[in-house]
Structure 1
Amino acid sequence: MGKNRLLIVFTGVIIQLLLVSCTYDYFKDETNYQVYVPEVVDNKVSDCRVLVYDETGVLVGARYEAAPWNDPRMRAGLFSFRLPPGEYKVYCYTNTDSLSFADEQQLETSAFMLNNSSSGENHYVHPSDVLFQKFVPVIDHPGILRTDTVELEHYTGRVTVRFKNFPGDVSRIENVQLLAEGVSTV
């Protein structure tokens, strides 16, 4: 009788341990989405930034690394994420070391700006040749690895002029001219 009782208690303890171990998330760092950037492996870019936004435009993952690529995965060109099932917007930028990112937590308001130059007010550091690509991956299952390979293109930027306390009616503006000096095309 004593051996059976001991066996029952031992079996109960083992089952409880198994239940606890099965519910514990051992795979907290498991990757199910990665972006492969071959230009990192070939040392053709100075840095790389990958931003992942969910369907609502909230930043859910960000990776950034610059040469000499200290992280071994990123040195191999792999920027890894663990994402729950859903649709995402993924942005990959390279050569952004001369830019500052602002409010990247929300896709609708995120932007990057030129860094100020030390030569005076309203002078900015010349931007590097920014390359980028956008993906819209769908993660169907959290356990299946999905990899997107970047095919970088030159970034075509948008100039946004913001007026604070503008006294006029902006909807009545019909024509805007922008004078840009020292501009080149690639």
Structure 2
Amino acid sequence: WQNKIEADFISSHQPELLISYNYRYIIRPDVISLMSDRIINLHISYLPWNRGAYPNVWSFLKDTPKGVTIHLIDEGLDTGDILYQEKIEFNEAKETLASSYSRLHEKIYNLFIENWEQIKNFKWNRKKQIGSGSINYVKDFERIAHLISDLNWDTPISTLKQKYNKLIEGDKRA
């Protein structure tokens, strides 16, 4: 489903559970209220780090923990209680954004499948996110997108990080 989910859709269909995965819209408060802790998000970051857009990219550029999280959706941006979570280690000299993105999606898919019985029966153990973590918006990515387009998604992450660090150092001097 790629359309915006509206309250009237929820009212007329009365789903038991909503699952957000690569959904590009922020779910509105009226929809969240109607679903009452029955919306989960499959997010390719290790929350509370890298909430928002392009979490894979930022986890490397800002050197934050990497992994995947299944969490409840609340009115914040990726701030809901954590249901399931797993860290992932990467070899940045060999890994690319494309390969790491694929690994993260495979891991979140497997985490979801492994826990589907608990998820569908609402038998999860939720925990609050600890710490402030980080958040990134599309506009943050737009500022550095040229680094990726100058290289490509198959460039080693270590090379991308070198370019990013040079950009940041240049900004500090300006």
The structure with the greater share of residues assigned to strand is 1
Structure index of larger Rg: 1
- Tell me the TM-score normalized by structure 2: 0.28
